[in-house]
Structure 1
Amino acid sequence: MDIRPFTIAIPQPDVDDLADRLARTRWPDELPGVGWTRGVPLEFLKELAAYWADGYDWRAAEARLNAYPQFTTEIDGQRIHFLHVRSGNPGALPLVLTHGYPSGFAEFTQLIEELREDFHVVVPSLPGFGFSTPVHETGWSMGRTARAWIELMRRLGYDRYGVHGGDVGGGVSGAVAGLDGEHVVGVHIVTDPYSAAATATFLPGMGEGLDPSDPVDRSALDRMARFRTEDSGYLAIQNSRPQTMGYLLNDSPAGQLGWIAESFERATDLPYDRDQLLTIVSLYWFTGSGVSAARFLYEQAHSSDWGAPPAVPQGFAVFGADPTVRRLVGPPADAHWTEHERGLHFPAMEAPKELAADLRTFFGGPGAGEVVH
């Protein structure tokens, strides 16, 4: 039950060690003219690593993060780190934001600024991510995480609240809504063509019943096939051999950087803050959470615990929208559904104002909590 204040304070020797390791990176060679077709291009990663070592200011980023009230608590034997940013309006609706992979709580800093007047914002770090470490036992699936979020909101004294997330965070948010419908007023999910194809590929039941003779269904099936052949490699490794991958992620900052930066480059279409990306990567590096975050994906891939389907109003904000997304997601007929032409997998960083506006619309505006559906 104990909730303790938390301040990020990375020891200076760890900061110096990062710069030293980056300077001594043993770079591989690269075939000419292949671009992004075989992974992160060498010159792209060299330039980003050089900026991480000599241009990016971790201490400034640390101070910005510490401006948000942070806490830790233990739930079900696991340390859980979270931000808790209270609105100036005491009657504001509490809203839980859950990040996905490969991301972390720092993804939401711009979105928090857009929402903090209208909502009490709670941003937990998934078990095995950032400061919600170490993880001492197996079994931390989406369902178990959802139950931890429910307990966290109970400890914070919130009787009614909304949930939001994308990617893995969308799955956790949906499970919270299904397990705690008595207190959850609505669930809001962000998705995009990339996420929809990934989810339909791996979530049982999604993508079934698509008709190859229908042009839109055919496009959706083609998108799933492209995901399997071109974009699912990281999932295949982490869903089967996360520990082996962990040695690279835990020992080489260039390896950790490339692993995360590739996702941001391939799954965004609007500019994002490079320093914010490096803050996310730095949190993985300083907490040694590359391997435990990878294990979270393994746990879900080998679990049947998806929580329960939502029984509350559902909202969807689609970024980079095309007709395949609705076919793949299959939302309820009365779901709130908003399509945005630009932005993709990380809208909290790519389009925070647009995402915040959709959240306010769905949850009913400042302090109202009257979910639109």
Structure 2
Amino acid sequence: MQIEPFQIAVPEHDIDDLRQRIRATRWTPATPSPAWQQGVDSQWLRELAGYWAEHFDWRAAERRLNRQPQFVADVHGQRVHFVHRRGSGPAPYPLVITHGWPGSFFEFEALLDRLCDPAAFEGDAADAFDVIVPSLPGFAFSPAPAQAGMSAFQVADLWASLMHGLGYQRFGAQGGDLGAGVSIALAARHPQVVDGIHLNFLPGLYEPAIGAAQQALTPEEENFLRERNEWAALEGGYAHMHSTKPLTLAASLNDSPVGLAAWIGEKFRAWSDCQGDVERVFSKDELLTNISLYWYTQSIGPAMQMYWESRLQPMRFTCGQRVVPPVGFARFPKEINRPPRSWLERTFNVVQWTDMPGGGHFAAMEKPDLLAAEIRKFFKPLRR
């Protein structure tokens, strides 16, 4: 496997083009309504767009991103961009962490510090990790797959080959959102090399076997499924669009930076533990660094494509099917779904379960100290 160092270098004319597009935005007229009731708040979006065009320093963000050791590799014909951060302890444990949508490898900046150098955060150097953070195919600097069919299962196969190519014979996996699906697929398809997986999200398309041969649904499980369906009806329009008509939406979002900022920014507010004020948790610079990665790489369309593939290859388990490697789960209070432990135990060997005191969908950015502590605790007995 060929691996090459990588540095981000967006052409200056792309930055100028972005600013011109924002300044030329044709703002939509809207009937007055309470802020955020019908989607993104127009006043907040205007402020964010104005900051993006006039004050946001992409070059500073680029230097910040380039402080992470980045590489690209050809894995079975798929070019994969990844961060490979070596741990500072005596025997760092290899861990592959996978992001989701609308995130990116940028999500894990603070988490990487705490996992790779725990001693710098009053932790034990023996708990250090070598952390690999690949960009999903079609996201950021990993180009879109050349062929259809790239679901979490195929990504898991790529990650297993990538880790082997990096010299890791065994490793752990962690993820939320789409990354949780990839981590589950790694454990299910490659149990011979995956020691365990830690999750902070359960994919909506995960379904354990339910039938006459299985235990009946508990009241807690019935309540979870009801709440999940209610959430999907009121908040899941984005996912339905991604998984059924991604190209229609991509034509708009790939051409309009303000449209892209609205589509992504609204989710950072809705899915985080921000008490209705997204900038209580994420600065404009953090939000725009992530959004700019989607813009400059034109990855919003290919990123949505993974929802299409996931719909065609849902994560359903059959009667008696078990995922062998142990699972740890951190359940954050403002996550978009909060399954009961028994729902996971129908398929997984859950050995660690924690109800977290704060945080939401973007746990690595919102609560990096809490998440890092959970990850260290889970993998401690699995280290070789």
Offset at residue 27 of structure 1 (A): 0.8
Which residue number in structure 2 is paired with residue 43 of structure 1? 43
| SS of 1:123 mapped into structure 2 | strand
Correspondent of 1:294 among 304, 307, 331: 304
Correspondent of 1:156 among 155, 166, 182: 166
| SS of 2:96 mapped into structure 1 | strand
Give me the whole-angstrom Cα distance separating, in 2, the residues matched to 1:11 and 1:336.
46
The range that moved more, 236-245 or 50-59, is: 50-59
| SS of 2:359 mapped into structure 1 | coil
Give me the whole-angstrom Cα distance separating, in 2, the residues matched to 1:276 and 1:74.
30
Correspondent of 1:326 among 323, 333, 340: 340
More relative contact order, 1 or 2 (CA 8 Å, 6+ apart): 1
Maintained 8 Å contact 1:142/1:306 = no
| SS of 1:227 mapped into structure 2 | helix
Give me the whole-angstrom Cα distance separating, in 2, the residues matched to 1:256 and 1:165.
24
Which residue number in structure 2 is paired with residue 352 of structure 1? 368
Give me the whole-angstrom Cα distance separating, in 1, the residues matched to 2:210 and 2:66.
42
Runs of 4+ deviating beyond 4 Å: 206-209, 304-309, 321-324
Q: Does 1:341 align with 2:354?
A: no
Offset at residue 101 of structure 1 (A): 1.0
Give me the whole-angstrom Cα distance separating, in 2, the residues matched to 1:99 and 1:85.
16
Offset at residue 321 of structure 1 (A): 6.9
Maintained 8 Å contact 1:219/1:324 = no
CA deviations over 1:311-360 (Å, ceiling 9, x no partner): 11110011107995215743346420011131110000100010001111
Maintained 8 Å contact 2:323/2:349 = no
Maintained 8 Å contact 2:326/2:349 = no
Distance 1:73-1:369 versus aligned 2 partners, 3 A rule: same
| SS of 2:207 mapped into structure 1 | coil
Offset at residue 135 of structure 1 (A): 2.7
Which residue number in structure 2 is paired with residue 17 of structure 1? 17
Which residue number in structure 1 is paired with residue 124 of structure 2? none
Give me the whole-angstrom Cα distance separating, in 1, the residues matched to 2:116 and 2:160.
21
Distance 1:129-1:328 versus aligned 2 partners, 3 A rule: farther
Letter paired with 1:204:
E
Q: Does 1:31 align with 2:11?
A: no
Give me the whole-angstrom Cα distance separating, in 1, the residues matched to 2:200 and 2:238.
21
Aligned identity (percent) is 40
Maintained 8 Å contact 2:97/2:133 = yes
Maintained 8 Å contact 1:98/1:123 = yes
Distance 1:236-1:41 versus aligned 2 partners, 3 A rule: same
Correspondent of 1:187 among 168, 174, 197: 197
Maintained 8 Å contact 1:160/1:185 = yes
Which residue number in structure 1 is paired with residue 122 of structure 2? none
Give me the whole-angstrom Cα distance separating, in 2, the residues matched to 1:321 and 1:36.
17
Runs of 5+ unmatched residues, structure 2: 118-127, 275-279
Give me the whole-angstrom Cα distance separating, in 2, the residues matched to 1:153 and 1:39.
40
Offset at residue 309 of structure 1 (A): 5.6
Q: Does 1:53 align with 2:53?
A: yes
Which residue number in structure 2 is paired with residue 313 of structure 1? 326
Distance 1:206-1:234 versus aligned 2 partners, 3 A rule: farther
The range that moved more, 338-347 or 49-58, is: 49-58
Which residue number in structure 2 is paired with residue 88 of structure 1? 88
| SS of 1:71 mapped into structure 2 | strand
Offset at residue 227 of structure 1 (A): 1.5
Distance 1:206-1:241 versus aligned 2 partners, 3 A rule: farther
Distance 1:74-1:267 versus aligned 2 partners, 3 A rule: same
Letter paired with 1:310:
V
Distance 1:369-1:304 versus aligned 2 partners, 3 A rule: closer
Q: How do 1:1-373 residues align onto structure 2 when only pairs under 5 Å count?
A: 1-89=1-89, 91-117=91-117, 118-191=128-201, 196=202, 199-200=203-204, 202-205=205-208, 209-210=216-217, 214=219, 216-217=220-221, 219-270=223-274, 271-274=280-283, 275-303=285-313, 310-320=323-333, 325-326=339-340, 329-331=343-345, 332=348, 334-364=350-380, 369-370=382-383
Give me the whole-angstrom Cα distance separating, in 2, the residues matched to 1:72 and 1:336.
34
Give me the whole-angstrom Cα distance separating, in 1, the residues matched to 2:81 and 2:75.
10
Offset at residue 310 of structure 1 (A): 3.0
Give me the whole-angstrom Cα distance separating, in 2, the residues matched to 1:328 and 1:305.
17
Maintained 8 Å contact 1:73/1:81 = yes
TM-score by length of 1: 0.90
Give me the whole-angstrom Cα distance separating, in 2, the residues matched to 1:352 and 1:149.
23
CA deviations over 1:63-122 (Å, ceiling 9, x no partner): 011111101111232110000001123521011110011111011111111111211010
| SS of 2:323 mapped into structure 1 | coil
| SS of 1:79 mapped into structure 2 | strand
Maintained 8 Å contact 1:220/1:324 = yes
The range that moved more, 225-234 or 19-28, is: 225-234
> Number of residue pairs matched?
358
Q: CA RMSD in A?
A: 2.3
| SS of 2:146 mapped into structure 1 | coil
